[in-house]
Amino acid sequence: MVQCNGIKDLVFVAHQDDDLLFMNPDIESTIDAGGCVQVVYLTASERGEGEAYMLGRERGVRSAYSYMAQEPNIWAEDFAAIHDRHVARFTLHGNKRLQLLHLRLKDPWLGKGWGSLTPLSRTESVAGATVESLGPAAEIYSRSDLVETLENIIQDYQPSTIRHMDGSITVPYERLCWRCAGHAHPDHIASARLVHDAIVNQPGNYAEIAYVDYPSQERAANLSATEITEKTQAFRRYAWDDYRYCANARLCQEPAGPAAAWVGRAYYVSRNNEAPYIVSRLDGGFFVFALGEANAAANAWQSTGQQWISLGGRTADPIAAFESSNGRPGVFARDATGLAWVSTQTPAGSWASWQLIPGARITYLPVVSAEGPLLAVAMGNDGLLHYAKPENDSGAWTAWRALPPLPGALPRVALASDDSGASMVFATDEAGRLWHSVYRTRWSPWQRINVPDTDGGLAALQNASHIIELYLRDKASGHMLQIVQQQTGDPAGWSQPTDLGLTYIGSPAVGLNETGAVAVAALEHPGGPLWLMEAGQATRLTATAGSLPSLGTIGGAFYVAARSAEATQAYWVRVRRHGAWDEPKMIKAPPADGGGAFKPDYSQETIPIKPLPSPYVRQGAPSIAAFTGSTDALSGDTHP
């Protein structure tokens, strides 16, 4: 049985080279960590030129992956049975953790090129359309057939991460154009939309990461010199077998033109409805923390400087900010391979370098306690909830440690502290049941709380009477429910649920307002009203909000923050003092650059290149020294 070391990447792309140009270095990082990778290429990528060109491109990606795995380019070929479908499969002989699947859907333009449909984009968008595959195991797929096949692949593989292209581009397929700002290939968009539908139908304990493709060239280069070198070397080994890139391998100058820009960049499609974080400053001001939708990095806005600073990192997830016991803020982030990193502000006001929290890889951003002992809880790739806590005031954290198993646990938990200072974690499971566990010197067994079936939406806090209040979403109605501890220090006794009548998405923000009363803020639906619940009364703060809210009480004033509903990333902050709201303050978008790997800067060091054992070398393949110069060898209307 293949050992994946707790990491299983499932990659869906339209063409051979999409993964190499837009998803690396993340895939190579998984390989280097001993993880499993299965790549699914939806199209034959033959561009109407027949099986010979298709097979050449397939040879190219095998060369690239054998290089990344540092194994001889020897693969076992067969056909995988995906329920009633047969899909070409290649398994690397020296590292069976790597598999490449090819659906081989025919891929000519159905018109003159850009501005027309492809078989895949037509099948995705036109009712009743179908697409046929090339090769000896010919198949015909409708849209529903494709979604079902992708679902089956997800179910069979049980990934810890699914990687796919960008399906968020709203330009109609027929109006897309090559090298137009913000545009992408129709097959990239279609593949992502099909994968998204499959994910909705096949949920599981895995991370989902979408990648910016062509528009990444419009952003700043954000890979280190080492990352660029490794990404370049893998792509070249592909290009030697793709005659549209390298008509003559000895004279090949790839990556050139746009490919030269893409190998220097890796950007993720932002989840722009995630809440910012508002945290107090020691000088009485405040920070707003947010993931930059342009730089894919952690960013902090300071009320004292009225400006953003980039804390770096490169993450596909939102970030989680917290306040340390010494009053200084800190930030959690998760990288694209599932490792968790933390950075805290130093006494001098600068930010410490990112520190890795060792142990488990996690599928979701940690939930961090906002009261009581500082604690972070996250779902691991292994399906177990894990926790970490600070070791001391230096900013170092313990390694992840597993909580007691909770079968079918969902990742979005809530944390609170009881009157004795014990930490409590609340979690839901796939069956809709609510559970809790208490941490004193160790975690107690999970105990069920009797409430109607819930699909999460959890938030918890200790109120001014030292009683824990817990908020959750009723699965049947979508309404917010409230339950309250019967008495302090009793983790088992809870009130009957109170239906607050508010429909909401995600998780609410909870805290004590400037008078010490409980305040709950929630977003009704994406882009919809933002509500503030206090003393049983709901107040609509805005008719349209772009994200879930954040709230806090700082210096006797009550703050609420959320993303603007405008297309450009910006945030508004409302402040209430002595019962009166100030005018909303708008905070402009975080910087467009400043992101980078959660690793040391390699820009000043000698760049290592992976050794190339003799089984890698193709007859006639050029040496590394042969790659000089830069030309754009791609025609503007046919690039795949």
In the predicted structure, residue 611 carries a pLDDT above the cut 80: no
**How does residue 146 score in pLDDT terms, banded at 50, 70 and 90?**
very high
d(CA 190, CA 607): 37
Burial class from Cβ neighbours inside 10 Å (0-12, 13-18, 19+) for residue 373 reads middle
C-alpha closest to that of 299 among 614, 634, 609, 596? 596
Lowest mean pLDDT among 99-103, 149-153, 487-491: 487-491
What are the backbone dihedrals phi and psi of residue 634, each rounded to the nearest 5 degrees, phi first? Answer: -100, 135
**How does residue 488 score in pLDDT terms, banded at 50, 70 and 90?**
confident
Task: Give the pLDDT confidence score for residue 392 in this predicted structure.
Answer: 79
User: In which element (H, E) is residue 54 found?
Assistant: helix 51-69
In the predicted structure, residue 634 carries a pLDDT above the cut 70: no
C-alpha closest to that of 512 among 456, 465, 544, 452? 465
d(CA 289, CA 300): 5
d(CA 324, CA 395): 8
Higher pLDDT, 419 or 167: 167
Taking residues 609-619, report their average pLDDT: 39
Taking residues 478-490, report their average pLDDT: 90
Higher pLDDT, 156 or 253: 156
**453's tokens:** 């079936």
In the predicted structure, residue 638 carries a pLDDT above the cut 80: no
In the predicted structure, residue 337 carries a pLDDT above the cut 50: yes
In the predicted structure, residue 552 carries a pLDDT above the cut 80: yes
In the predicted structure, residue 24 carries a pLDDT above the cut 90: yes
Lowest mean pLDDT among 70-74, 244-248, 363-367, 548-552: 244-248
Taking residues 503-507, report their average pLDDT: 97
| Half-sphere CA count of 368, side-chain side, radius 13 A | 20
Bridge-based pairing state of the strands 414-417 and 537-542: unpaired
Q: Which residues pair with 530 in a beta bridge?
A: 523, 542
Which residue has 């090298």 as its token pair?
A: 179
Task: Give the pLDDT confidence score for residue 612 in this predicted structure.
Answer: 41
Task: Give the pLDDT confidence score for residue 635 in this predicted structure.
Answer: 28
In the predicted structure, residue 251 carries a pLDDT above the cut 90: no
Which residue has 């998405």 as its token pair?
A: 505
- Tens of pLDDT, residue by residue over 74-103, are 999 999 999 999 999 999 999 999 999 999
Radius of gyration of the chain (CA): 26
Q: How far is CA 532 from CA 193, 415, 541, in A?
A: 34, 21, 7
Taking residues 496-514, report their average pLDDT: 96
Q: Under DSSP, is residue 87 helix (H, G, I), strand (E, B) or coil? A: strand
Residue 57: Cβ within 10 Å count: 26
In the predicted structure, residue 563 carries a pLDDT above the cut 80: yes
- Tens of pLDDT, residue by residue over 27-46, are 999 999 999 999 999 999 99
Report the chain's mean pLDDT, rounded to a whole number.
91
- Tens of pLDDT, residue by residue over 397-419, are 999 999 999 999 999 999 999 88
Bridge-based pairing state of the strands 8-13 and 36-43: parallel
C-alpha closest to that of 148 among 79, 82, 103, 80? 82
Domains of the chain: 8-266 (3.40.50.10320), 277-587 (2.130.10.150)
Nearby residues of 592 by Cβ (< 8 Å), 6 or more positions away: 219, 220, 292, 294, 295
Task: Give the pLDDT confidence score for residue 261 in this predicted structure.
Answer: 96
In the predicted structure, residue 603 carries a pLDDT above the cut 60: no
In the predicted structure, residue 208 carries a pLDDT above the cut 70: yes
**623's tokens:** 């040496």
Taking residues 152-167, report their average pLDDT: 97
Task: Give the pLDDT confidence score for residue 393 in this predicted structure.
Answer: 72
Q: Which residues pair with 302 in a beta bridge?
A: 287, 307
Lowest mean pLDDT among 59-73, 148-162, 485-499: 485-499
In the predicted structure, residue 615 carries a pLDDT above the cut 70: no
Task: Give the pLDDT confidence score for residue 272 in this predicted structure.
Answer: 85
Taking residues 289-311, report their average pLDDT: 93
d(CA 150, CA 40): 9
Task: Give the pLDDT confidence score for residue 179 in this predicted structure.
Answer: 87
**At CA 316, angle to CA 310 and CA 320, rounded to 5?**
60
